[in-house]
Amino acid sequence: MVLQDEKKTKWRCVSYEKTKCRSVIYTTGKKVNCRQTHNHQAKPIDPKTILVPQYVKIVRS
Ligand SMILES: [Zn+2]
């Protein structure tokens, strides 16, 4: 997570440091807003990562 205000949270790609990937997403409540695409192959999710599933609305721009 990079930046958070009351309504919107900005998330940057985990590979930003390595690949200068410009992919970012914004989450607003349960809405997910995708900006840019990855400039590299996305890594498969580490099965050790704990994920909390929830329904979200994805908006691509
Ligand atoms: Zn990326």
What is the whole-number distance in angstroms between the Cα of residue 27 and the centre of ligand 1? 16
Mean pLDDT calculated for residue range 7-13: 89
Count of domains for the chain: 1
The token duo for 33 is 């807003």
Q: What is the pLDDT of residue 50?
A: 67
pLDDT for the residue 20: 92
Q: Are 61 and 34 in contact (CB under 8 A)?
A: yes
Say how many Å lie between the CA of residue 29 and the centre of ligand 1.
Answer: 22
What integer is the mean pLDDT of 41-54?
Answer: 72
Residue 45 belongs to domain spanning: 3-60
The pTM score is 0.58
For residue 1, what pLDDT is reported? 56
Cα(20) to ligand 1 centroid in Å equals 8
Distance CA(51)–CA(45), nearest Å, equals: 10
C-beta separation of 11 from 26 below 8 A: yes
Q: What are 14-44's pLDDT values in tens digits?
A: 888 899 999 998 998 888 888 888 999 877 7
CA distance 61 to 49: 28
∠ CA(9), CA(6), CA(1), 5° rounding?
Answer: 25
